[in-house]
A and B are shown apart, each in its own frame.
Chain A
């Protein structure tokens, strides 16, 4: 079986749902989301258990290749999308409120099928081996995100986020195309294979190549939220609907790193460019670690805090990317998915019940819902990289890569950044346990949120003890 059939299936699923919404819209718009989730789960199962031929058909050979890395990033995209849909169900109340005057769900139909298109983009991206197909699939992802970020059209924050994301996203796209053009000029190729060949050519004009590459790295930095392209993240995350912020934070970042691995692997493997590329990446990683962590200290809004923490995590992952340790990058992303979605699920349900993302609504959570407080404590400890949670393994691997390859100041930046992380994550733990609650009303966990949060918390602890099962799943 050809792997691209699955990608087409997902895109087709999106189109069918779109037509359903357009021509015979269901009364309960959620049904679209349920159909999407079921469809994507089916695709996920096929992806895991079907046998795919390693050779792509002739007509697509130049653009598309299915391997262990593609399998990982496709599974990642599918899981993330399914989780986003699940989160949207519990989040529907807020969504309805900000899309129609009468709090009905009439205007939310698109919200449930647009992620399917995004997912199709992610899946195609995971297999792309040509700068052109990378660019096209990346655009599919970004354009659907433009809509999703600004989806709560009666909320000023969401609109502001949409505009900011549109402008910065368009800029980053421009930079990427420009970079691709320079790279093509230097290597006469757009396929990764062709570029790899060109790198061993002694007549290569290095400055042209490096300039093009620098632009591409910048644009990847935009996707993953690495300094100096991290500025859009806090505002966009804060304004976007929580499920979409989680989607951006997890899937979009993973896609950025996936593209980063695809494009940069030949450069990190070639003697001509290895040193300069990895040095640039290490410098970006160090700067990202410092900026993300230090800026997070002052936050009072939990969603914004998660935005800065996602920048900080990007800094850690960059260390692995710069060291060329791709399977550990994938490992970190997998743990990051578990931790971030747990946090966003909790954030989402607090938002629905308390109508606020501010950290002060977590005051005295330990008294209002002790289990939820304990869960969030475990989650935050994992994000901070506390040993015996899954978050520690990622940091351990990245620090190991840094120690092996990075300059000393980057190692120190990682240490300082890591310690700062304890400060701002523990600030929330402190608020939950040390401060008295403002109201006594209990916080109720909806079924879906409860299931996801419990499963992920158990995973956080179990895989915190041993990381090997996760690493065994990552085969590249």
Chain B
């Protein structure tokens, strides 16, 4: 039953909000607090909770509504509940739009949680789609700038991506053994085609180069909580899907596409990296940087695809997914705060904020440093592991293979992110105060709660990444009182060879 809470509570809250419009914020806070607690509890006890089938939706092909926890989904769920709470707490809703604003956040949260907890491909896909509708609507109704065109573009990109993905998943079902995510397997001759569909489908959702151009404008235009949830949580669905579906269904197919994937991810890291350097607005810069950092996670996936014995790759990818999710959500949150205080996000119209708002500067600096990969923060652990995974099992007598070369080039990306992040930080916080920043006051305690929560998560995971890695690699943590048989509690995320 506990597994249902992260999905049902936000859904019920969203429904109630339509009726009780005045209480929307209280309802949302209560619901996200409940999911936060449940998420923590499930994370701690994830290895004790097996898959639970609630009921059968369809007999032939067999589709069931079943939820379950694996190490990876435990980490993703934790990410999701953290960001949901932060988004709900920190967002400033325009007057009179409370019902739409808060119910959208709740629907996105329900969809994301549902997707991460589902153990059946049908619901895995459906819950993600459920989360996309409120994303489009909020961008279109409540967004900034050229919101209609941007929401439109995003809709088309993601709809096409989802359908390609659906075709890939259906092929996996057709040639494999059905919708059950615990028993996905496909004959090797069909894998190349399936892997291509999955990479393009999931890749579009994760903004893999060259299907990335929707992402930065969408995040810049979306209301801050939606940008936080989509870039922080929902986008990780694609990576999560590649990891738990792609590698189970088509390990050989993924291997076939490694060279292509390497080129594309370098597009993310280098091409989009340089695009990011050139941004003049903070929100576009953050949006592009989030696209760029997807490249690192794809690098871990490519390393895994090229050599399935690379045991570091999965924890590396998941750790970085978590770290990036938190750090980008925190950045969008603080950028929104800056915009509210200064009424602008143009980098050349900002400056000297550090004097006026030191705690804002500290927190934004922390998020920026995390995103660059400063040791001690979670992103460093993730990125370092990603680079290690590229060289794991490397036989130096054979020279550098394409994965190793790509890893070496990708490290240049760290320099690129340092350049744009530090420059953004300098332009915003250092130097002389600009007209827009002169009257700014420092953060109210209320505004500190959400970023502090995320900063704590970054620090804790950064200082002790084993906390997550142990979950991901599925070490038996279950206490003796656990009644679930060991076989259901072990990890299912390791790729089948």
Contact = CB atoms under 8 A, between A and B. Distances in A.
A, B: real partners? yes
Interface of A: 381, 386-388, 392, 396, 399-400, 403-404, 411, 414-416, 418-419, 422-423, 426, 429-430, 433-434, 465-468, 471
**Which of A416, A422, A467 has most chain B Cβ within 10 Å?**
A422
Contact of A434 (B55, B141, B170, B173): B141
Given A388-B129, A423-B159, A430 B152 contact: yes
Given A418-B163, A430-B148, A468-B58, A400 B170 contact: yes
Nearest to B147: A434
B130 interface: yes
A411 B167 contact: yes
B126 A387 contact: yes
Contacts of B140: 430, 433-434
A433 B56 contact: no
A467 B59 CA distance: 9
A404 B174 contact: yes
Interface in B126-174: 126, 129-130, 133, 136-137, 140-141, 148, 151-152, 155-156, 159-160, 163-164, 166-167, 170-171, 173-174
B170 A422 contact: no
8 contacts: A387-B125, A387-B129, A419-B159, A419-B160, A422-B155, A466-B58, A467-B58, A471-B58
Contacts of A467: 57-58
B238 to A, nearest CB: 16
Interface residues of B, number: 31
Interface of B: 55-59, 61, 122, 125-126, 129-130, 133, 136-137, 140-141, 148, 151-152, 155-156, 159-160, 163-164, 166-167, 170-171, 173-174
Contact of A386 (B129, B164, B173, B174): B129
Contacts of A399: 166-167, 170
Contact of B57 (A381, A430, A468): A468
B156 A422 contact: yes
Contacts of A381: 133
B148 A434 contact: yes
Contacts of A468: 56-59
A403 B170 contact: yes
A392 B126 contact: yes
Nearest to B130: A388
**Which of B122, B126, B173 has most chain A Cβ within 10 Å?**
B126
Contact of A419 (B55, B61, B129, B156): B156
A400 B171 CA distance: 8
A465 B129 CA distance: 14
**Which of A396, A399, A433, A434 has most chain B Cβ within 10 Å?**
A396
Contacts of B55: 466
B162 to A, nearest CB: 8
A400 B141 CA distance: 35
Contacts of B156: 419, 422-423
Nearest to A423: B156
Contacts of B141: 433-434
A426 B167 contact: no
A387 B130 contact: yes
A467 B171 CA distance: 20
Contacts of A471: 58-59
**Which of A399, A419, A468 has most chain B Cβ within 10 Å?**
A419
A399 B122 CA distance: 13
Contacts of B136: 426
Contacts of A423: 155-156, 159
A23 to B, nearest CB: 54
B66 to A, nearest CB: 13
Contacts of B58: 466-468, 471
Contacts of A387: 122, 125-126, 129-130
Contact of B174 (A388, A400, A433): A400
Given A387-B122, A415-B166, A468-B58, 15 more contacts: A381-B133, A400-B170, A400-B174, A403-B174, A415-B164, A418-B163, A419-B160, A419-B163, A422-B156, A430-B148, A433-B137, A434-B148, A465-B57, A466-B58, A468-B56
Contacts of B126: 387-388, 392
Contact of A422 (B61, B148, B159, B173): B159
A454 to B, nearest CB: 16
Nearest to A408: B193
Nearest to A412: B167
Contacts of A400: 61, 170, 173-174
B91 to A, nearest CB: 20
